[in-house]
Structure 1
Amino acid sequence: MAALSAAHTPAPTAAGLPGALWLYRFDADGRAHALDDAARGAGTLQDADGEDWHWLHLDLSDVRSAQIVAMLPLPEEAHATLLSPDSHVNLQFEDEVAHGVFVDWVHQRGVDLAAEGQLRGDDGIGWLHFAMTDRLLVTARRQPLRSLEAARRAVIAGALADAPVRLLELVAGRFADTVGRSSDGLSARLDRIEDRVLADSIGEERRDLAQLRHQTVRLHRPLTAMRRVLKPFEQRHAGDTDHELLPAVARLNQRFDDLDGDVGTLQERARLLQDEVAAKLAERTNRHLYVLSMITALLLPPSLVAGLFGMNLPGLPFAHSSHGLAFALLLGAASSVVVYLLLRRMGVARST
């Protein structure tokens, strides 16, 4: 019940820091505490006691956030990263300060994260800017971000984060959770489509597979962007430092690798199913054309016979016979039989 109420707890506004969306203090046990208006201010971020640390989140669409960034105890490179309009993933680490940009999903207002789980068709990509020391995590965004909001709700509900790097890993982990759930949902959809294809019950499978492949591409691209940055970062700093960021990056690397492998498998399965559906539809079309061609071939001789007797000219066979119609019908049927036997002899009329 506590988790449910926490999920609907609005984020506290940082009244003493115009342009900030929230400010939390984490105690030595890693529990989050929202700071009241009287405790909020730029000086608060530099006055962490003992093992306490702070999480400040900024709204980059508010021009006042630049004033807050300028007052933060961070190097100029970190200031530039927080305010940059970058739309690509990057991660830098120097002098015990990490800063960069991670990818995230845009959070749709009014969506219940606990109930939604998977991505929707209109969920877009957003960018999480961050800078981190051992006592401060500053995050910033221009659009509401899904994983960031999920992480905020998690720490309010009781999730522990005893260091800024733990919270950053939690945010990235929530991003991975969404990808994983979406991948599982797409896999279940693909299983149902595959069952229908194998049962030769093809209806809207081509459209469904096209949509599914589009969704797998949407999952694959941000995963690739994260892996392209995190893996070289891990290799580059493997022997340089024992900072807690490196084990966190290694864990995220492994998880993103596994997820990207799952998404790649989905893409390959969907492509193979598309090929199989196309082959089955082509076979069905060829079968229909074959039947139509056979009907045309068998009806052509009777049509010629009917046309011949319809000329209404003197000297036509059976013109004065009382059984002329029957003879003409028999002649037309016989011509179809002769054509059919000729086609069978040629191997054309055999079933495919």
Structure 2
Amino acid sequence: MTSRFAIELGADGKGHAVEPAAACRLTPDPARLVWVHLDGREAETLGWLREHGGMPETVVYALTAIETRPRCEAIAEGALVNLRGPAETPDDGDPLVSIRLWLEQGRVISVSYRPIATIHVVREQMEQGQIKDPGDFVSHIAMLITKRIDPTITELGDLVDDCETMLEPDQAYETRRKIATARSDAIVYRRFIVPQREALTTLSTLEVGWLEEDDRLHLREAADRFARMAEELESVRERSALIHEQLTDLRSEQIENRALLISVVALIFLPLTFLTGLLGMNVDGIPFAHEPWAFAAVTALCGLVALSVGGWFAAQHWFGR
């Protein structure tokens, strides 16, 4: 598939490839739909839109802007719509890539900087005659985007569900890594999904002749799906934060238990250290210094003291805290 193409709805009700510039020169006709798709990465795209687009200058700049967020703005009898959908190929940038649309009676002009996964499906639908007007076009692409994104959002929710069952000390590192990934992805997706819902809702209310009632229903349905996705992402973010706090508490509890164990061991050996230090002084007068049984007696006394102190700690339930 080339980066620039044009499809015109013919008399047979199906779409046929035409030359983009020639398609734009045709007078917009409600009975005919022309779709021109351009690659924003091509240096001549801006000049091409100015020469052949036949649209306001503000629309030209909006279609070729580098950074965009989902939006919908009515301009005269047309509409400028920015949407986000999954990329056709994985990339290091945002998981959702933009497609900018100029919609008016009988014509659609789209621009994208990175291939969007749904573009070839929309082209096939138009070639098969399933898309008849700009309303069909935008409602189809909106529904396709929701179908592509919905499984990803569901997977994020499932990942958080799995993490909630992995709150064990030996799994803390793996759980922390997974929950950090889920939380980061949820923030990135929510950044675009919330305004996309608002854009589709706004589009469904525009008073333009090329939007039919069934198109408005499909747009509202897509907006409702995005609203549900936004709620799911908010839930993922909140649950991820809660799990992270639980992991932090679990780690703090582990550190406290280990510090308590070290303290108990040190307290057990404290009287023993005092006793052995006292009897080990290099001065005259140490009792039983020359008796053959003295070492065994001191060893037994140390063991008795250690058992007594350890038993007292056990009776106070220090080892179980």
Q: TM-score range by the shorter chain?
A: 0.7 to 0.9
Q: Name the residue aligned to 1:268.
A: 238
Contact residue 91 and residue 98 of structure 1 kept, 8 A: yes
Q: Mapping of 1:247-266 within 5 angstroms?
A: 247-266=217-236
Q: Displacement, 1:121?
A: 6.6
**Residues 1:233 and 1:33: Cα distance change in structure 2 (over 3 Å):** closer
- Measured after TM superposition, the shift of residue 12 of structure 1 is 4.0
Summarize the Cα distance change of 1:51–1:333 in structure 2 as closer, same or farther, 3 Å threshold: same
Q: 1:90 offset after TM fit, Å?
A: 2.5
Q: Which amino acid aligns with 1:42?
A: A
1:349 aligned to 2:291? no
Among residues 94, 97, 105, which one is paired with 1:134 in the alignment?
105
Q: Which residue of 2 aligns with 1:277?
A: 247
Name 1:186's counterpart in structure 2.
156
Measured at CA, do residues 344 and 279 of structure 1 come closer, stay the same or move farther in structure 2, by a change above 3 Å?
Answer: same
> Match for residue 56 of structure 1?
36
- 1:96 corresponds to 2:77: yes
1:299 corresponds in structure 2 to 269
Name the TM-score, length of structure 1 as normaliser.
0.77
Separation in 2, partners of 1:251, 1:349: 60
Q: Which residue of 1 aligns with 2:15?
A: 32
Shift of 1:252: 2.6
CA–CA separation in structure 2 for the residues paired with 1:157 and 1:302: 90
Q: C-alpha displacement at 1:328, in angstroms?
A: 0.8
Amino acid across the alignment from 1:313: V
Summarize deviations over 1:227-250 as a string: whole Å, max 9, x none.
Answer: 344445556x4xx45633644442
Aligned to 2:146: 176
Structure 2 residue aligned with 1:16: none
Match of 1:165 in 2: 135
User: Where does 1:65-104 land on structure 2 (aligned, <5 Å)?
Assistant: 65-70=45-50, 71-85=52-66, 87-104=68-85
SS in 2 for 1:202: helix
Deviation at 1:139, TM superposition (A): 0.4
- What is the letter of the counterpart of residue 139 of structure 1? S
Q: Please say if residues 71 and 81 of structure 2, whose CA atoms lie closer than 8 Å, have aligned partners that are also in contact.
A: yes
What RMSD in Å do the two structures reach over aligned CA positions? 3.1
Maintained 8 Å contact 1:55/1:138:
yes
Query: Aligned pair 1:286/2:256, yes or no?
Result: yes
Tell me: CA distance 1:158–1:328, structure 2 relative to 1, closer, same or farther (3 Å). Answer: farther
The Cα shift of 1:92 comes to 1.6
Equivalent residue pairs, number: 316
Instruction: Answer yes or no: is the 8 Å Cα contact 1:90–1:101 preserved in 2.
Output: yes
- Aligned equivalents of 2:181, 2:93: Cα separation in 1: 13
Tell me the amino acid that sits aligned with residue 39 of structure 2. D
Provide, for residues 297-328 of structure 1, a one-character-per-residue CA deviation record: whole Å limited to 9, x for no partner: 11221122222222232211221111111111
1:250 and 1:348 map into 2 onto residues whose CA distance is 62
Contact 1:88 1:101 in 2 (8 A): yes
Shift of 1:162: 2.1
Deviation (angstroms), 1:145: 3.0
Superposition map of 1:234-253 within 5 A: 237=206, 240=207, 243-244=211-212, 246-253=216-223
Identity of aligned residues (%): 17
Q: Which residue of 2 aligns with 1:116?
A: none
- Residues 204 and 219 in structure 2, CA contact (< 8 A), matched pair in contact too: yes
Distance 1:12 1:59, change over 3 A: closer
Distance 2:12 2:268 in 1: 87
| Contact map agreement 1:30 1:161 (CA 8 A) in 2 | no
What's the offset of the Cα at 1:217?
0.7
C-alpha separation in 2, matches of 1:317 and 1:211: 68
Q: Deviations over 1:143-171 (max 9, x none)?
A: 21324535446537858222222222333
Please give the alpha-carbon distance, in whole angstroms, between the structure 2 residues aligned to 1:194 and 1:28.
58
Distance 2:155 2:128 in 1: 28
Q: Any unmatched runs of 5+ in structure 2? A: none
**Comparing 210-219 and 82-91, the one that deviates more:** 82-91
